[in-house]
């Protein structure tokens, strides 16, 4: 059996779900990208990437290395397009198609591209009339092309893009555009499924232009046709319809047989009467096949499906970042991550300072009480009022609070990206942290006499380690420095270089990924210039350390590599750090993974794809204009 790797954009949709089960049955390996969560019907063998594919990267596609790309992802408005469709059409039809093929053309194994186009590219004057028609117009691939609307325009634009690429890439891959006619299927937004849902709920159905004639093609047939087109090498465009048009009144009659008490409201419409049908001789010649399903059979299938499943729309919760201060890179990283899921997700920012700079960079600002004055009930009420499902703490001083109320919030459907209280407090207490076994912690004591060294580091036991720190001091000056601290601890000064280790640990306790970075330039304890680097042996050691710590979420380890190559863990911050955005740039998609996990989506099938190129991050002030 010739098994292939198939990538399907929009594969969680009506056609995609039908395609996936057929490809899996054939023994192919399938990867799906879609805005929707993974459908329950998908087998564990399906690789799934939830989110806006406008953000998918070359590395992600190359790592799967598909041989076949089926491009289904699109946004539609079947009847009159709304004003809001202007932007949606550009983002999810024009821009998305161009972005995906910009990447796909470089995928090493790619051999075949199948694009789900539409009959909406044909001149509407060919099949729209002021009076009802008795005989449908059979639209052929050679007929005049004048897109009917924005969606049709976008479909035609990508057909032309594929034709353009074929001039340069024909020796690498071939492409075909399937002009799909009036599609319908399980859980769809099409008029047939809408009427069925209305009928099941006991409501009336509203019918416009019941004399209209359309070529209705069932999603199962569409999927089969696209799969067969993916298995040949012919290029160009081909109609994908049944070649057997039916009137709107035919659908109403079938529904009346299934729902004898069906209430029907016939309404006048200013729209023209459509009378169209697919000419499918080219389709039959290419793949020796034509669609099999008729409305009488499929409408009963759809009724059974709608009765069994609740097809309410997926609702995405918003995100709250606390103590935003001037953490603009963090805010932007969160916004980019949630945009990959759905652009409707709002990012709220909270801070007790109403004058903080961060308020200008989030969607909604909350002047939140200071953390020690914030009852958990008030926090829950705010989150529920604003549909917040994920909280991202960003300051050491609030980690104890959020770790304490984490379980209570979770019972209310509010997810906090933080470890449990016991492990969080362990990290916040540098003395206790140093006593954890098997983590190569640097020697730490409240008494300088217990430290075997001639040079010392002095810091606060609790809180940010960089605050009021004394480095490379002799014993006399170390003791003098400690007098000025509330809870001084002493460590040996070790000559070497300091590194930060960013990691993400899943809710199951698995280390998703690690990015190590050198702190090239440090000012007031913050990395102003940071460089990523790789050392697989060292990464393995840090993974073992993280496993021993039993943390969750984004974690930062600070470590020293001595001049003789010995590793010492200095401290652990169980949160996202100031320079951690470099790790996001390298591929550690912490906020994206955290949001998915907040939706109870397993991130096992969302691989950590580390950039093959290292990067240097330079943090600097930047002007912003409103």
pLDDT tens, 201-245?
888 999 999 999 999 999 999 999 999 999 999 999 999 999 999
* pLDDT computed for residue 40 by the predictor: 82
Q: Are strands 347-351 and 318-322 parallel, antiparallel or unpaired?
A: parallel
Distance CA 473, CA 458 (A): 8
pLDDT score of 65 more than 60: yes
* pLDDT computed for residue 315 by the predictor: 72
**pLDDT category of residue 341 using cuts at 50, 70 and 90:** confident
**pLDDT category of residue 465 using cuts at 50, 70 and 90:** low
Q: What is the mean pLDDT of residues 338-346?
A: 88
Distance CA 266, CA 209 (A): 8
Helices (H), 108-218: 150-169, 191-200
Q: What is the mean pLDDT of residues 578-582?
A: 92
Q: For residue 381, what is the enclosing H or E element?
A: helix 376-385
The predicted model scores a pTM of 0.73
Q: For residue 545, what is the enclosing H or E element?
A: helix 536-549
Distance CA 49, CA 37 (A): 9
Share the mean pLDDT of the chain: 93
Domain coordinates of the chain in residue numbers?
5-308, 318-418, 419-442+494-626, 443-493
pLDDT score of 492 more than 70: yes
Q: What is the dihedral angle through the alpha carbons of 493, 497, 498, 500, rounded to the nearest 10 degrees?
A: -150
Q: What is the mean pLDDT of residues 364-371?
A: 96
CATH topology for 318-418 is Rossmann fold (3.40.50)
**pLDDT category of residue 76 using cuts at 50, 70 and 90:** confident
359: CB partners within 8 A, 6+ apart = 324, 349, 351, 365
Q: What is the pLDDT of residues 26-36, one digit of tens each?
A: 999 999 999 88
Give the number of other Cβ atoms within 10 Å of residue 536's Cβ: 7
* pLDDT computed for residue 322 by the predictor: 97
pLDDT score of 313 more than 60: no
pLDDT score of 312 more than 70: no
pLDDT score of 77 more than 80: no
Q: What is the mean pLDDT of residues 268-287?
A: 94
Q: What is the mean pLDDT of residues 383-394?
A: 96
* pLDDT computed for residue 19 by the predictor: 97
What's the burial of 605, exposed, middle or buried (CB within 10 Å: 0-12/13-18/19+)? middle
pLDDT score of 311 more than 70: no
Q: What is the mean pLDDT of residues 377-386?
A: 96
pLDDT score of 1 more than 70: no
Contact 422, 551 (CB under 8 A): no
Contact 557, 439 (CB under 8 A): no
pLDDT score of 531 more than 90: yes
* Lowest mean pLDDT, pick from 36-45, 509-518, 586-595: 36-45
* pLDDT computed for residue 138 by the predictor: 98
Q: For residue 24, what is the enclosing H or E element?
A: helix 14-26
| DSSP helix, strand, coil percent of the chain (3-state; round to 5) | 35, 25, 40
Domain 5-308 grouped into CATH 1.10.760.10: no
Would 5-308 and 318-418 be classified into the same CATH topology? yes
Contact 356, 325 (CB under 8 A): yes
Residue 446, helix vs strand vs coil: coil
CATH topology for 419-442+494-626 is D-amino Acid Aminotransferase; Chain A, domain 1 (3.30.470)
């Amino acid at each position: 059996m010739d098994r292939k790797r198939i990538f399907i954009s929009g594969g969680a949709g009506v056609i995609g779900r039908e395609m996936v089960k057929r490809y899996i049955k054939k023994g192919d390996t399938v990867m799906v990208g879609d805005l929707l969560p993974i459908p329950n019907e998908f087998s564990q063998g399906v690789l799934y990437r939830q989110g806006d594919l406008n953000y998918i990267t070359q590395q992600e596609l190359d790592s799967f290395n598909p041989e076949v790309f089926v491009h289904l992802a699109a946004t539609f408005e079947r009847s009159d397009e709304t004003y809001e469709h202007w932007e949606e059409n550009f983002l999810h039809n024009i821009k998305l198609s161009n972005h995906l093929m910009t990447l796909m053309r470089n995928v090493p194994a790619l051999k075949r591209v199948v694009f789900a186009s539409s009959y909406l590219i044909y001149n509407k004057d060919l099949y729209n009339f002021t009076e009802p028609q008795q005989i449908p117009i059979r639209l052929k691939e050679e007929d005049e092309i004048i897109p009917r609307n924005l969606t049709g325009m976008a479909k035609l634009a990508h057909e032309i893009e594929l034709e353009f690429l074929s001039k340069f890439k024909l020796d690498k891959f071939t492409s075909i555009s399937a002009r799909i006619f009036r599609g319908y299927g399980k859980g769809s937004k099409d008029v047939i499924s809408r009427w069925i849902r209305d009928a099941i709920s006991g409501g009336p159905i509203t019918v416009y232009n019941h004399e209209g004639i359309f070529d209705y093609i069932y999603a199962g047939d569409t999927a089969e046709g696209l799969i067969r087109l993916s298995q040949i090498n012919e290029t160009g465009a081909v109609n994908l319809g049944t070649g057997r048009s039916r009137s709107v009144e035919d659908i109403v009659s079938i529904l009346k047989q299934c729902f004898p008490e069906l209430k029907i409201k016939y309404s006048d419409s200013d729209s023209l009467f459509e009378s169209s049908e697919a000419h499918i001789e080219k389709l039959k010649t290419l793949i020796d096949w034509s669609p099999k399903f008729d409305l009488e059979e499929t409408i009963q299938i759809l009724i059974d499906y709608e009765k069994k499943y609740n097809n309410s729309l997926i609702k995405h919760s918003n995100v709250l970042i606390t103590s935003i201060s001037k953490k603009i890179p963090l805010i932007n990283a969160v916004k980019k991550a949630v945009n990959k899921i759905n652009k409707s997700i709002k990012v709220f920012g909270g801070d007790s300072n109403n004058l903080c700079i961060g308020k200008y960079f989030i969607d909604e600002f909350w002047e939140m009480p200071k953390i020690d004055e914030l009852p958990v009930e008030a926090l829950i009420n705010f989150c529920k009022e604003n549909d917040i499902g994920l909280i991202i703490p960003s300051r050491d001083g609030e980690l104890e609070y959020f770790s304490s109320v984490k379980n209570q919030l979770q019972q209310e459907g509010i997810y906090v990206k933080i470890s449990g209280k016991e492990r969080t407090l362990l990290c916040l207490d540098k003395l206790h942290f140093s006593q954890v076994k098997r983590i190569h912690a640097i020697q730490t004591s409240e008494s300088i006499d217990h430290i075997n060294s001639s040079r010392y580091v002095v810091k606060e036991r609790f809180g940010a380690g960089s605050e009021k720190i004394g480095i490379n001091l002799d014993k006399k000056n170390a003791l003098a420095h400690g007098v000025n601290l509330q809870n001084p601890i002493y460590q040996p000064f070790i000559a070497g270089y300091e590194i930060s280790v960013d990691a993400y640990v899943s809710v199951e306790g698995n280390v998703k990924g690690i990015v190590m970075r050198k702190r090239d330039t440090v000012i007031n304890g913050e990395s102003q210039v940071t460089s990523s680097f790789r050392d697989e042996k060292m990464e393995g050691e840090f993974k073992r350390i993280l496993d021993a710590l039993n943390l969750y979420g984004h974690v930062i380890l600070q470590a020293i590599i001595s001049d003789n190559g010995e590793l010492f863990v200095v401290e652990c911050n169980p949160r996202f750090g100031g320079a951690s955005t470099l790790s996001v740039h390298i591929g550690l998609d912490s906020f994206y993974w955290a949001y998915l996990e907040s939706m109870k989506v397993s991130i096992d099938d969302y691989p950590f794809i580390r950039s093959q190129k290292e990067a240097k991050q330079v943090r600097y002030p930047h002007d912003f204009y409103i």
